[in-house]
Amino acid sequence: MQKKRPVNLNLFTIQFPLPAITSILHRISGFALFLFIPFLLWMLHASLASPEQFTNLHELLTSIPAKLGLILLFAGLFYHLFAGIRHLFMDAQIGETLKGANRGAVLVLILSTVFTVMAGYWLW
């Protein structure tokens, strides 16, 4: 018996709810943070190797493109942190209802935005 169901393979036509979007972004931010690890380790090595390399790194990180990159790094870090805390709460059966999931998703977006703005102010 063949079932003829409509199949929608275009993901851009599907309207995801906000909790699903925040969950997908949590995975993307985790992958982006993973890709930044070699750069962060290089910065740590350069800052500890010698006073000259520390000065060179400081000059590099005070440029506008580097500051914007660091703000993006902080944005991914804060988003991943707060979304991860949200997932931990959901593992403890807190915020699993539709209303709770929507509130948690909005809270993750607000907190990550506020902390990113604060980090950007601190960097600039």
57 inside domain: yes
- Nearest to 112, CA basis, from 85, 69, 86, 81: 81
pLDDT of the residue at 65: 94
* pLDDT above 70 as % of the chain: 99
CATH number at residue 65: 1.20.1300.10
**Domain total of the chain:** 1
Whether 120 has a pLDDT exceeding 80, the answer reads yes
Q: Is residue 13 situated within a structural domain?
A: no
> pTM to 2 decimals?
0.84
Question: Would residue 117 count as lying in a domain?
Answer: yes
For residue 112, the enclosing domain spans 19-123
For the segment 97-107, the average pLDDT, to the nearest whole number, is: 94
